[in-house]
């Protein structure tokens, strides 16, 4: 389980659009997101396929389905693949921007990762934190650019 929170100085709608539309991830969440495929804009039931990585020497592949979409404040995805579980993004307005909370409750479904998780949990947390820092660096300029 990972819970991350940060503030972004950009319009809430633009931040929500970037987060809810996984197709944008390779544009601003670099170098973490390698590829995302989906057949349209965010809506309940929309499925996307992701390939991503952190600093550790492996790539992960997942399939996410939007199960709840409450524009512009919250959405939830169900995830299956190398990681399985759910992710909830919550956005709240602040003075000059938006506060983001990302509740990522997933388990490793790849056999090797599942086996190593108890031993390497601190390393996996470090890897996750590195990946989130890339999101923090990329999201605000992307959302502010009106992309």
| pLDDT > 70 in the chain, percent | 97
Which of the four CATH numbers 3.40.50.300, 3.30.1130.10, 3.30.1330.40, 3.30.530.20 does domain 2-144 have?
Answer: 3.30.530.20
Q: What is the pTM of this model?
A: 0.93
- Parse the chain into domains and list their residue ranges: 2-144
Pick the range with the lowest mean pLDDT from 23-32, 58-67, 84-93, 108-117. 108-117
Neighbours of 21 (CB within 10 A): 17
Q: What is the mean pLDDT of the chain?
A: 94
Check residue 121 and give its pLDDT.
81
Q: What is the tens place of the pLDDT at every residue in 31-89? A: 999 999 999 999 999 999 999 999 988 899 999 999 999 999 999 999 999 999 999 99
């Amino acid at each position: 389980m990972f819970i991350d929170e940060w503030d972004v100085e950009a319009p809430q709608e633009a931040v929500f659009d970037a987060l809810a539309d996984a197709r944008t991830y390779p544009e601003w969440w670099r170098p973490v997101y390698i590829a995302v495929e989906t057949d349209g804009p965010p809506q309940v039931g929309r499925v996307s396929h992701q390939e991503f990585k952190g600093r550790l020497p492996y790539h992960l592949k997942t399939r996410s389905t939007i199960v709840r979409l409450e524009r512009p404040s919250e959405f939830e995805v169900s995830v299956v693949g190398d990681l399985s579980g759910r992710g909830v993004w919550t956005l709240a307005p602040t003075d000059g921007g938006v506060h983001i909370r990302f509740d990522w409750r997933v388990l490793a479904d790849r056999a090797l990762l599942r086996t190593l998780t108890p031993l390497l949990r601190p390393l996996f947390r470090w890897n996750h934190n590195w990946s989130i820092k890339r999101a923090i660096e990329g999201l605000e300029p992307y959302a502010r650019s009106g992309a």
